[in-house]
Amino acid sequence: MWNWEARHETETERLDRNWNSLIQETRVVQTGVQLLTGFLMILPFQSRFDMLTDPMRVLYLVTVSASIGATVFLVAPVSAHRILFRRHRLRAVVESAHKFGLVGLALLGVALTGVVVLIFDVVAGTIVGVAAGLLFAALFAVVWGLLPWLQRRRGVGDDTNIDAPQ
């Protein structure tokens, strides 16, 4: 077993380490996504919001929905931990937190892409807004998805595969 050979840690110690890593990662994005959601929620009450076209209003609703969804999924590990606390269900908490984190990051990417389109559309026009949205969507996909996936595929024997299943 890799974790025992390389780290001399038990399954429980590995789960504890994984949980701590997940929580630290979640802390990084939780505040940002909550601020983004808050700012998006106040936009309809601004005087210039009436300038948005109907398609941009739909995009706004998709964006705010994605941001709220990201908030839900990125905060979900805390709820799971509280409910399952002292129930000896650490594996379930870690596994669900991992899945919640992936969904939350995907929704955050959608929300940020929507924000980019909205801002560029208002400042520079629809064509520039769509182009910027496509550019940033591709950037999110490459940096948040493709590059880590390629690192993961390098295989056993390098440090990028520390938590690979045994």
Question: What's residue 166's pLDDT?
Answer: 44
How crowded is the C-beta side of 38, counted as CA atoms within 13 Å?
6
The span from the CA of 51 to the CA of 144, in Å, is 33
C-beta of residue 104 within 8 angstroms of C-beta of residue 30: no
Question: What's residue 144's pLDDT?
Answer: 93
Q: What is the mean pLDDT of residues 81-104?
A: 83
C-beta of residue 104 within 8 angstroms of C-beta of residue 29: yes
> How many other CB atoms sit within 10 Å of the CB of residue 33?
26
- The mean pLDDT value of the chain amounts to 87
C-beta of residue 69 within 8 angstroms of C-beta of residue 114: no
For residue 55, pLDDT over 90 is answered with yes
Let me know the angle formed at the C-alpha of 154 by 100 and 17, rounded to the nearest 5 degrees: 45
Note the pTM of the prediction, 2 decimals. Answer: 0.83
Q: What is the mean pLDDT of residues 9-23?
A: 84
Looking up tokens 């992936």 gives 102
Q: What is the mean pLDDT of residues 77-84?
A: 78
